Amino acid sequence: MQRFIGGLLVAVALGGCGSTMSPLKDADKVPTERLFSADKTTPGEGKQKITVVRNGGTMIGSGMHLLLKVDGEKTAELGTNDAVELYLAKGEHLLMVEPKYMSTSSSQLSAALVVPTKFPVYRIDINLSGPKFQPSVD
């Protein structure tokens, strides 16, 4: 019986560590004081809107802010459940995410994209299976 209760507690604890996909309408906009590149975050002619969302609901890394770089330029700082709208010109771009205070090559995630793209959303997910940075349709 004690093993059963112990196993149940572990299952409940681990179940709480999974991240949840934040619907775009519920994500928090990154405040202006955490935006660093007006060029990449301002609409313009010929630019496509790309939204980067950091999923919420996980205990892993939830207190750590992430830096988003576009083509090597520091662009925004994202907390859990944050979203930032990027406006990118036609061509190839590299999105890179790294922890704000612990930047090493092994802690960086990146995603390459070509604008125009059919994937207008990129999601950052940090959970027990490791971090992911991937395109999404919502």
Q: Which is more confidently placed, 67 or 11?
A: 67
Which of the pair, 19 or 33, is modelled with greater confidence? 33
d(Cα 84, Cα 75) in Å, to the nearest integer?
Answer: 10
Position 110 scores a pLDDT of 87
Rounded to an integer, the average pLDDT of 117-133 is 83
User: Would you kindly state where each structural domain of the chain is located, as residue ranges?
Assistant: 19-136
Following DSSP, what letter does each residue of the chain receive, concatenated?
-HHHHHHHHHHHHHHTTS-BPPPGGGSEEPPGGGB--HHHHS--TTEEEEEEEE-B--STTTT--EEEEETTEEEEEE-TTEEEEEEEESEEEEEEEEESS---GGG-EEEEEEES-S--EEEEEEETTEEEEEEE--
Does residue 73 have a pLDDT over 60?
A: yes
Q: pLDDT digits over 74-123, tens only?
A: 999 999 899 999 999 999 999 999 888 765 555 678 899 999 999 999 99
Please tell us whether the domain made up of 19-136 is placed in CATH 2.60.40.
yes
Q: What is the pLDDT of residues 38-63, one digit of tens each?
A: 999 999 999 999 999 998 755 455 56
